[in-house]
Structure 1
Amino acid sequence: MTAEKTLPDFVREHDIDRVTLDIIENALKNIRDEMDRVLVTTAVSPVIREQADEFPLIADRQGRMIVGQFGSPVDTVLEHSPYKKEDLKDGDVIAVNDPYTMEGSTSHLPDLLLIRPIFYSGDHVGYALQWGNLMDVGGSTAGSIPIDARSIYEEGVRMPPVKLYSEGRLNEDILRFFCHNSRTPRETRADVMAIAAGTAAGAQRVKDLCERFGKDTYLEACDALLARTRESVIKLIREHVPEGERFTFEDYTDDDGIGNGPIKLRLTAWREGDTLNLDWDGTDAQVAGPVNFLLNERMFQMFAGVFLISAFDPTILFNDGYSDVIRVNIPEDSVLKPKAPAPLSNRLVVMARQFDVLGAVYAKAIGAFKVSGSYGTSPNFVYSGTKSSGEPFQTMEILYGGIPARPGKDGLDGHSWWPEFLAVPVEYMEKYYPLVVEEYRVRTDTCGAGQWRGGCGVARTYRFLAEGRITYQDDRAQTFPYGVDGGKPGSPSKKTLIRSSGESVSLPSKVRDVPVYPGDRLVFETAGAGGLGDPLDRDPEAVAKDVRWKLVTPEAARSEYGVVLDENGDVDASATEKERGSLREGRAELLQFDRGDVPERDELAKRIAAERREFNEWLSAELGAR
């Protein structure tokens, strides 16, 4: 039975013409873009400057996101702070990096959030927010992502909501304290100041809108944009999500970095009238290792709406307008809502898996919505040590993999879940850090076969020029990115350390502080994505093109797609027709979700625990021998 609910205050008739509303909407989008550019061009660390791991947001005076991506944490942060909305002043900036005091609005300690209230002619008209992924905030390992942390206290300095700026005056003591706890204090200070500059740019542009259109018109536009998005998302829900049936899917993250796994995420969706219900009941309990993902309900509401908007009407503005029409239940003490002080630093593997699970639930519920499984996380890599000059160094970068196939389109190769993220240029890495990137390529045959193939993973080979240590996290090494509707799974990830002596060591998907020496190499290979639809229905010319581009081998073209190529790489039409007929006759029934050759959960858990024990023994011997 549908519960009665109070409508948001912005659901009403709005006294603003459509042209003005569209101008203000597009101006707000441009403000968000300007905030992006201010930050990435003034930050100095590669993870922000080169990869754009940062997100801006403009909220209304109630703290609701008008433009952005993750939903607004303003109310949550202020509830956990000594500051009240009515006491904030022009020029104040609140800083916080503790996920627990934001209820997961940012999800690990390196993500620093700044909140700047916006005032026009003395009246409060909104907020400009921005967060960025800092290089290091302390903790037990470089990069502040210890893959074996048992509590958040091992992961870095935790800053509750504090005023970094008070009426325009910088609090040097707070900033000095925060940077003092970082292994990269210069980069940390520069990046914090760059984030602050981004919020200042956003605040000024909102003031400019108030000056141009009038404060009352701007505030009315904010409400109207929320209302328009809400109405549009309701239409999507009613049109595409059937009522009266529940749709459930579950998938697994490999492990928590200390030998526990696999870890189940389970989601059920159903519609009641205008409301979409999403329930994570059945998801595994929080784990000892740091892959717990403190998922904020409003953030997941935003993700769920963004999936629908992106698939069916990308013209709809992402904002908090539809937060009341998507209901979310996340069980307490689960891996998606852990209890403090559970570690969170390596939460990306569970964050990415919830995207896979959400996509699969939609694939079950909505005939026109089909996506396969992805590469499974946002792998990060940290290399730290001391240069021959005696100067300490630390770099960090995020790597990418195969993006899911979708109806009518292949998955993207070596891409990020976040569309605006970029790869760190090889030239940048080699200029500032003692390493050589010997290889950066697509991994051939890692894309799941299908009528629409999944994206390929990537391989990046680092050769180290100085003694140091490496820490990284990845996933999908034990499980496969699933294929959909006859599509085949993508290939898993793989890591290999090759010593200068030629010794080759296979490493797990998550390690910390592995010693490396001049001449050693790390081959970092990410997972592909699953395919969509019957591979034997793929256009043979598309397969031939994939072979020319070295995404698929000629052997896989024949065995997976039934496409036979001649000596020039052209399709042999008659041989292809014959080969496909033979493959159809001999194969088993196609699966709706093909997870690949993965053992039962108990057997997989034993394999994961054994791999971690063997790695720990090897690492202990390495550290002892050197």
Structure 2
Amino acid sequence: ELAPGDTAITNHPGFGGSHLPDITLITPVHSGTGRLLGYAASRAHHAEIGGIRPGSMPPAATRLSEEGVVIEPRLLVAAGTPRWEEVQQLLEFGPYPSRAPLDNVADLEAALAANHRGSRHLQSLAVTHGEDEVVAYMEALRQEAARGVRAALAVLPDGVYRAQGGLDDGAVIAVAIEVDQERARIDFTGSAAVHPGNLNATPAIVQSAVIYVLRLLVEKPLPLNEGFLDPVEICLPPGMLNPPFTVMGDNPAVVGGNVETSQCLVDTLLEALGIVAGSQGTMNNTLFGNEQFGYYETICGGTGAGPGFDGADAVHSHMTNTRITDAEVLENRYPVRTERFGVRSGSGGAGRWRGGDGAVRELTFLEPVALSVLTQHRRSGPKGGAGGGDGAPGCQHIVRGNGTVQELGAIDGAQLMAGDRLVMETPGGGGWGEPDPPAADSAASTRERLA
């Protein structure tokens, strides 16, 4: 139990974590009378936390330790006294230490400051309005979220809604959503066993995907909190979505589960409910670096269409929301040149409402780097809905300086030399509904849509 003046730190996937680059700090907030009001928490992605490749998202990882420094739950601050030396020692030693421990510590100092600021604001509210009033309002916010979800579930006809999605290597995600008036039971029985690579998710990731989909069902503004899960039971058997974890053991790898399996989870849940076609279903994670630097970006794609609307072109969707670095900033800070970044025209699925188009991105590297890509929907495209066509699958390859082309798999890596170029084409979203007959001037129609 956390006492006043304590702050816990962890990135362990078995204790509410997602993947190792995401480090979480949790600080209890006590009132002046010593009453526990709540917790201030911060989670931030560290671009480098160790592992067998720069960027800490190695495509070939099969064990958690290969993905970077594992911080089991421990105290970063005990009774007001920080333990920075212990944390720095964790970061600098071990089988695959961080390549940027000083950056890690600086970012953790910022996260701790954020927790302290949040704590002060909550304590100030308690002083101004009274402890009982603040605690009552927090509980009211949770109940309001639960009521919103119950109302959304009540609109759905009672019954069982099923779907089956899958990763490029054949690993299955199966879901059955049983709706009974204002409650739902979401059962993932039939999903794949523990993944031999890094595509294992965690219960926290599954819960996040479920909360996100439930939020899409609610049309009014709602506070996003634990109340979303009050009317929901999640059945999660052991396997890829609930792998075994121990505190000190060498656990299954998870980095791809956080960024890729999570996307498949959302699309599978949405397919079961039948409300929208599949979106790009991947984050198109791209990492490159060497011993001097590391860089990580996720690349946009097409979103799925739905009844009454087309999908959006070249945007992030679902479990990813980051803005890509501007080309001018990227080229100023890193040894890379942006050759092309645009819409991948025609990659969205056909339908009465078209799926959104993916993107094309080409980067030329100006010095040797290690490249990693973690992607999905390279073998098959995102599913269409209600008779709509599937979106185009993505692809990526390397053009070497001598003109040789090297194809890359969905989860892959390569050592690049100066002058080598990465070409990535991201998936389009699925279409919705039977396609209308072709227009007389389809080129003009496409130009009008893009405009």
Whether TM-score is above 0.5 comes out as: yes
Q: Is 1:214 matched up with 2:130?
A: yes
**Deviations for 1:208-254, whole angstroms, at most 9, x for unmatched residues?**
322332221101101111122222221221222x22x3221101110
Residue 139 (structure 1) aligns with: 51
**Deviations for 1:43-81, whole angstroms, at most 9, x for unmatched residues?**
xxxxxxxxxxxxxxxxxxxxxxxxxxxxxxxxxxxxxxx
Distance 1:184 1:266, change over 3 A: same
Distance 1:474 1:322, change over 3 A: closer
Match of 2:237 among 312, 331, 334: 331
Residue 125 (structure 1) aligns with: 37
Q: TM-score, normalized by length of structure 2?
A: 0.91
1:541 Cα deviation after fit: 9.8
1:454 Cα deviation after fit: 1.6
Deviates more, 1:207-216 or 1:426-435: 207-216
Secondary structure at 2:288 match in 1 = strand
Q: Is 1:404 matched up with 2:304?
A: yes
Q: Is 1:381 matched up with 2:289?
A: no
Residue 583 (structure 1) aligns with: none
Q: Is 1:456 matched up with 2:357?
A: yes
Q: Is 1:161 matched up with 2:73?
A: yes
Distance 1:520 1:161, change over 3 A: same
Match of 2:432 among 532, 544, 549: 532
* Residues 351 and 388, structure 2, Cα contact 8 Å, conserved in 1: yes
- Whole-angstrom CA distance in 2 between matches of 1:253 and 1:360: 15
Where does 1:230-379 land on structure 2 (aligned, <5 Å)? 230-240=146-156, 242-243=157-158, 245-254=159-168, 261-296=169-204, 300-301=206-207, 303-332=209-238, 334-340=239-245, 341-347=251-257, 348-363=259-274, 370-379=275-284
Deviates more, 1:212-221 or 1:266-275: 266-275
Residue 618 (structure 1) aligns with: none
Secondary structure at 2:140 match in 1 = helix
Using the aligned pairs only, state the percent identity: 26
1:145 Cα deviation after fit: 1.6
**Structure with the larger helix share:** 1
**Deviations for 1:424-460, whole angstroms, at most 9, x for unmatched residues?**
2222211111111111111111111222222221111
Residue 248 (structure 2) aligns with: none
- Whole-angstrom CA distance in 1 between matches of 2:438 and 2:37: 53
When the two structures are aligned, how many residues end up with a matched partner? 439
Residue 23 (structure 2) aligns with: 112
* Residues 302 and 319, structure 1, Cα contact 8 Å, conserved in 2: no
How big is the alpha-carbon RMSD for the aligned residues of Structure 1 and Structure 2? 2.2
Letter in 1 for 2:386: D
- Whole-angstrom CA distance in 1 between matches of 2:313 and 2:440: 19
Structure 1 residues not aligned, in runs of 5+:
1-83, 255-260, 364-369, 387-391, 552-626
1:301 Cα deviation after fit: 4.6
Distance 1:225 1:278, change over 3 A: same
* Residues 335 and 366, structure 2, Cα contact 8 Å, conserved in 1: yes
Q: TM-score, normalized by length of structure 1?
A: 0.67
Structure 2 residues not aligned, in runs of 5+:
246-250
* Residues 201 and 242, structure 2, Cα contact 8 Å, conserved in 1: yes
Distance 1:418 1:323, change over 3 A: closer
Residue 21 (structure 1) aligns with: none
Match of 2:294 among 391, 394, 399: 394
- Whole-angstrom CA distance in 1 between matches of 2:78 and 2:426: 45
- Whole-angstrom CA distance in 1 between matches of 2:113 and 2:341: 34
* Residues 23 and 45, structure 2, Cα contact 8 Å, conserved in 1: yes
1:304 Cα deviation after fit: 3.0
Secondary structure at 2:8 match in 1 = strand
Residue 176 (structure 1) aligns with: 88
Secondary structure at 1:428 match in 2 = helix
* Residues 135 and 184, structure 1, Cα contact 8 Å, conserved in 2: no
Secondary structure at 1:484 match in 2 = coil
Deviates more, 1:349-358 or 1:114-123: 114-123
**Deviations for 1:584-603, whole angstroms, at most 9, x for unmatched residues?**
xxxxxxxxxxxxxxxxxxxx
Secondary structure at 1:346 match in 2 = helix
- Whole-angstrom CA distance in 1 between matches of 2:87 and 2:196: 32
